[in-house]
Structure 1
Amino acid sequence: MSNRSEVLLALVGFMLDKMMGYHFYLVYDQMIDDLSDPIIRQMQNYGDVAVFPYDTDFTALQQMIRGFYHTGNLRNILVICSSEKTLQLFRMITRRNLQTPSVHWFVILEENIAKDIASVIKEGTQVSMAVGQSTAYDFFISHVNKNDEIVFTEIGSWKWSPTGSPSRKTSPTFSQPLYRPMREMYRNFGGRVMKSAVIDNTPFFKVNVLPDGTVMPDSGIDSKVLETLGKVLNFTYQLVITEDGQWGGEMANGSFTGMIGKVQSGKAHFAINEITITGPRERVVDFTLPYFMESTAMVSRAPAEKNRAFAVFSPFTAEVWLMLCITTLLMGPLITGATRIRGTYFQYDQSQIHSLSDFEFNIYRSLVIQGNFLFPSGWCQRSLFLMWFFFCFLIYALYAGTLTAVLTIPSFEKPIDSLTDLLVAMDKDDFKANVVRGTSNEFIFSLATGGIYKEIWDRFDFDDGYVYSWDEGVAKVLTGKYVYMNAYLGALIRAKRRGLHNFYFGRNTFYPQSYSIACSNGSPYKVLFDSLLIKMTSAGLVQKWTQDEVDKVRSGDTGGSNGPGAITLVHLQASFFIVVIGYTVAVVALIGEKIKSAHIDSHLRKNSVKVNGYF
């Protein structure tokens, strides 16, 4: 074996000793064709090994990096290729977004192309590099400096000597470890300035834009989360506000709008502002563990109180009223008939028998609890009146109790409590659904292939259904037949500002949403964010910050009901209608009687003339 081969094998052995984990991959070209088998056997002593001869397609390597197998553990990739092919390999890693903190790259080169590699890789591609020829190699590791630049720093050297025992042939001198875990590397950002994409969105992240265009945090749940992360990890942050004010929707070319688009394009390191985890977004960003969960609410205008013009009739159904009328009308003839039969067969004075109109009038008086002026002498009539009085008592008690409840407890139109109610309201009452454009609440409907989501989307009015902010959505509800669908907390706070009594929140929510921080693909600090977010939620900080936002909103409620109020003219409209109807009937009857009387007088005068003519 030549000295070069022996040096390379010794160097690989040294690097394998510094690697972590049990999964090793070798990428090589013709430079080491004669040494590939010895290197592979050497790597097999440390764990599982996969070999990838250099291929410009890189399909097999890409499948391995993106595969789910072993993604939870560190994987080590040793690259021994020419400088040109090594640079081409890292260009592919960046172009295909294959950077990941679960892979650490170990590169052996004959010439120093550290600056070239640093210019093509993204944060998340961790590289340890050995550069040298003959028997001496210098070692470099990549990291991101305070100026947000990827650079390589020399950490030591390694030399091989042809003499001495195998253990003494190498002499490494290092100031830092060849491999540092992500948790250790990013435990302290060293005052680095991180860029966070945001939109102005109370109660999660309220911002102020200064005259010079600088975006400053004002308040909000996510503002507190970001502030805490910065203090613990020692970084400051610069807010990057999105021009379109959107969270992030996928466009036809695969790019995203809004905050997700800022992270995807590299204009921001991460985005935090009530960002929902969705499948399409996960393809272009890495989400942290969720730190806030809520569901989507349906907000509609408070149901209007039902018309009380005929409230006095509401205690009974139409069938009951009809039966009362029939029963009342029949009781008069029934008692009159019984009285006349008794008078005929028992030889009573017919002058003592009351007329049908007397009986009918007193039957009605009893029904409305006005007493009875008749004093029947027979037990037959007394029995009929006794049962009728008891019947009237029951009817009056039921009517009075029910009417009291109807007049004192408001009755409202049927509210929209579920998606099924919304679908019916859209079909029968011309209600329209509203969603904020470019949010997950739009996507669950627009991407649905079946079920009630698709049925609602099929009826969606694209001209009048979109709104572009939460404030616009809540305000639009008060202008007509609209149902605004968005996350509960933000809708609740905006409704409180406009008077919560003006709105109705459906009893059933849907589409539970998890909010997290959207980091760039392969973000190496995501694991640190995950750990701190768990601590914040477990300590109740996120819940406290949420309650703080709710408490500081001044409610606009000034017209809510404090319980049953006094009975007004609205409640008694029907009573006055009855009086007016009575007056009208009386006037008509008076006119009728006048006409009839005039007709009779005229007829009598004619007859009188004829009689006088004969005499």
Structure 2
Amino acid sequence: MEGREMIVTALDSPPFVIMGRELPDGGAEGNTGTDYLFVEAMARTLNFTFRTIQPEDCNYGYPQPDGNVTGMIGLVARREANVALGGIAVNDKRDTVIDYVYPYMDAPLCVYSRSPKQKSQALAVLSPFTREVKVSNDRASGPWLKVLWDAVESFMDRGSVYSGTLTAVLAIPAYEKPIDSLDDLPKAVADGFTIGVVRDSTNEYVFKILTEKFVFLIDDIEFIIAAERLGGRRKFNYGHECFYPQGAAFPVPSGAPYREIFSKLTLRLVAGGFYKKWEADAIWNYTRGSEVEAAEESETNALTLTHLQGKTWVMRVNEKREGEPADVVKDVG
């Protein structure tokens, strides 16, 4: 491959490929990203040059029923490009028209959904009480609202156990239960959520999470970047369970004579820790702004009048009950 020019097909797909752009000061940034750094390292080692092209349809590509092959995979299959970049998943359909070099990454699927919504705190003043306390009816002491009001009044004293518990409840907001694992999916479907996987545009499916009741199964790296494009990761819930690791590798034309040497170099770069370093740097550079925003939004909230609505409600209803005839009050339960 000494002195040869290679044709590389790539699409802007951070952190794998980050296309160059013009800077406000009139300068320019060159192409970068994990896959791009891979090819640069190979070019230095094998002493070849390369230039980058993009497919006209701007797709990754698949073999079609009519025999046509779209996107970057099509360019490689027709030998119009020597290699494709972009975190391209290894799968059986693509394998019928191209070959892969040694996989450099395993990307498991994870469960992603919208961030749990904050629960109403209008009755938060009552939250430290158990359900039994809330519904009890001590006839010896009067109607339950009166008992509850007396309890709130006494427990609000400084230094009481209730006071400390209430402060913690009100200062730290409560949220809906998140969709975190495969075990949570049946309940999510019963609650009206749709389960989706990637077909064409990752951004389209990630956007659905924000606008519909939608749960997305996708690899973690691809989702992180897509979420950044749609306003930041803080808007989404990242499931704790991942499954079905799927390899990513560089597609090359079937029978390409350089496939073996590319595989050996890929294995060396992965084993030497270069890929993980490039990946961490690329993700950090792309997402560091939202990390600061998320940290700022995670601070505890100040108490507002909303938090005290529960106490006011108990007081007003209790006053109304005290004005009713004794036989009516007695039967309230």
Please confirm whether the aligned pair reaches a TM-score higher than 0.5, indicating the same fold.
yes
Give matches, 1:275-314, under 5 Å.
Answer: 275-314=88-127
Deviation at 1:217, TM superposition (A): 6.0
* Aligned match for 1:437, one of 180, 183, 199: 199
Deviations 1:514-567 (CA, angstroms, capped at 9, x unpaired): 111111111111111011111211222111111211221232353644443332
Structure 2 counterpart of 1:484, which letter?
F
Give matches, 1:340-379, under 5 Å.
Answer: 367=151
**Cα contact 1:205–1:217 (8 A) shared by 2:** no
1:555 has 2:318 as partner: no
Deviation at 1:190, TM superposition (A): 2.6
Q: Show the counterpart of 2:11.
A: 199
* Aligned match for 1:484, one of 216, 230, 248: 216
Q: Show the counterpart of 1:524.
A: 257
1:404 has 2:167 as partner: yes
Q: Show the counterpart of 1:258.
A: 71
Which structure has the higher relative contact order (CA within 8 Å, separation 6+)?
2
**Aligned equivalents of 1:561, 1:194: Cα separation in 2:** 47
Relative to structure 1, the CA distance from residue 248 to residue 423 in structure 2 (aligned partners, 3 Å threshold; closer, same or farther) is farther
Relative to structure 1, the CA distance from residue 419 to residue 249 in structure 2 (aligned partners, 3 Å threshold; closer, same or farther) is farther
**Cα contact 1:500–1:555 (8 A) shared by 2:** no
**Aligned equivalents of 2:104, 2:58: Cα separation in 1:** 22
**SS of the residue 2:293 aligns to:** coil
Relative to structure 1, the CA distance from residue 243 to residue 299 in structure 2 (aligned partners, 3 Å threshold; closer, same or farther) is farther
Relative to structure 1, the CA distance from residue 480 to residue 363 in structure 2 (aligned partners, 3 Å threshold; closer, same or farther) is closer
Q: Show the counterpart of 2:49.
A: 236
Structure 2 counterpart of 1:512, which letter?
P
**Aligned equivalents of 2:106, 2:270: Cα separation in 1:** 11
Relative to structure 1, the CA distance from residue 484 to residue 330 in structure 2 (aligned partners, 3 Å threshold; closer, same or farther) is same
**Aligned equivalents of 2:316, 2:152: Cα separation in 1:** 19
Structure 1 counterpart of 2:306, which letter?
V
Q: Show the counterpart of 1:330.
A: 140
**Aligned equivalents of 1:310, 1:427: Cα separation in 2:** 27
Structure 2 counterpart of 1:413, which letter?
E
Relative to structure 1, the CA distance from residue 516 to residue 580 in structure 2 (aligned partners, 3 Å threshold; closer, same or farther) is same
Relative to structure 1, the CA distance from residue 209 to residue 322 in structure 2 (aligned partners, 3 Å threshold; closer, same or farther) is closer
Q: Show the counterpart of 1:539.
A: 272
**Cα contact 1:217–1:223 (8 A) shared by 2:** no
Give matches, 1:44-59, under 5 Å.
Answer: none
Q: Show the counterpart of 1:509.
A: 242
Q: Percent identity?
A: 33
**SS of the residue 1:524 aligns to:** coil
Relative to structure 1, the CA distance from residue 368 to residue 528 in structure 2 (aligned partners, 3 Å threshold; closer, same or farther) is closer
Q: How well do the aligned residues superpose, as a CA RMSD in angstroms?
A: 3.3
* Aligned match for 2:314, one of 561, 578, 582: 578
Give matches, 1:163-242, under 5 Å.
Answer: 189-208=1-20, 218-242=31-55
**Aligned equivalents of 2:271, 2:257: Cα separation in 1:** 23
**Aligned equivalents of 1:571, 1:543: Cα separation in 2:** 46
**Cα contact 2:61–2:70 (8 A) shared by 1:** yes
Structure 2 counterpart of 1:530, which letter?
S
Q: Show the counterpart of 2:206.
A: 474
**Aligned equivalents of 2:147, 2:173: Cα separation in 1:** 34
**Cα contact 1:197–1:241 (8 A) shared by 2:** yes
**Aligned equivalents of 1:427, 1:364: Cα separation in 2:** 36
**Aligned equivalents of 1:400, 1:208: Cα separation in 2:** 57
**Aligned equivalents of 2:147, 2:204: Cα separation in 1:** 62
**Aligned equivalents of 1:364, 1:265: Cα separation in 2:** 77
**Cα contact 2:173–2:301 (8 A) shared by 1:** no
Deviations 1:289-328 (CA, angstroms, capped at 9, x unpaired): 11122222332211011112222232234333333x32xx
Structure 2 counterpart of 1:577, which letter?
W
Structure 1 counterpart of 2:43, which letter?
G
**Aligned equivalents of 2:199, 2:30: Cα separation in 1:** 24
**SS of the residue 1:249 aligns to:** coil
Deviation at 1:496, TM superposition (A): 4.5
**Aligned equivalents of 1:208, 1:264: Cα separation in 2:** 26
Structure 2 counterpart of 1:411, which letter?
A
**Aligned equivalents of 1:364, 1:251: Cα separation in 2:** 69
Q: TM-score, normalised by structure 2?
A: 0.80
Deviation at 1:331, TM superposition (A): 5.0
Q: Show the counterpart of 2:328.
A: none
Relative to structure 1, the CA distance from residue 364 to residue 575 in structure 2 (aligned partners, 3 Å threshold; closer, same or farther) is closer
Structure 1 counterpart of 2:289, which letter?
S
**Cα contact 1:496–1:555 (8 A) shared by 2:** no
Structure 2 counterpart of 1:480, which letter?
E
Structure 2 counterpart of 1:241, which letter?
Q
**Aligned equivalents of 1:550, 1:200: Cα separation in 2:** 14
**Cα contact 1:205–1:219 (8 A) shared by 2:** yes
**Aligned equivalents of 1:491, 1:585: Cα separation in 2:** 55
**Aligned equivalents of 1:562, 1:414: Cα separation in 2:** 17
**Aligned equivalents of 1:311, 1:366: Cα separation in 2:** 17
Deviation at 1:401, TM superposition (A): 4.7
Structure 2 counterpart of 1:479, which letter?
T
**Aligned equivalents of 1:573, 1:365: Cα separation in 2:** 13
**SS of the residue 2:62 aligns to:** coil
**SS of the residue 1:478 aligns to:** helix
**Cα contact 1:230–1:236 (8 A) shared by 2:** yes
**Aligned equivalents of 2:17, 2:265: Cα separation in 1:** 19
> What residue ranges of structure 1 are gaps of 5+ in the alignment?
1-188, 211-215, 333-359, 371-391, 439-467, 593-615
**SS of the residue 1:514 aligns to:** strand
Relative to structure 1, the CA distance from residue 262 to residue 366 in structure 2 (aligned partners, 3 Å threshold; closer, same or farther) is closer
**Aligned equivalents of 1:322, 1:538: Cα separation in 2:** 63
Q: Show the counterpart of 1:272.
A: 85
Deviations 1:76-110 (CA, angstroms, capped at 9, x unpaired): xxxxxxxxxxxxxxxxxxxxxxxxxxxxxxxxxxx
- Equivalent pairs counted in the alignment come to 311
Relative to structure 1, the CA distance from residue 483 to residue 555 in structure 2 (aligned partners, 3 Å threshold; closer, same or farther) is farther
**Cα contact 1:202–1:220 (8 A) shared by 2:** yes
Deviation at 1:279, TM superposition (A): 1.9
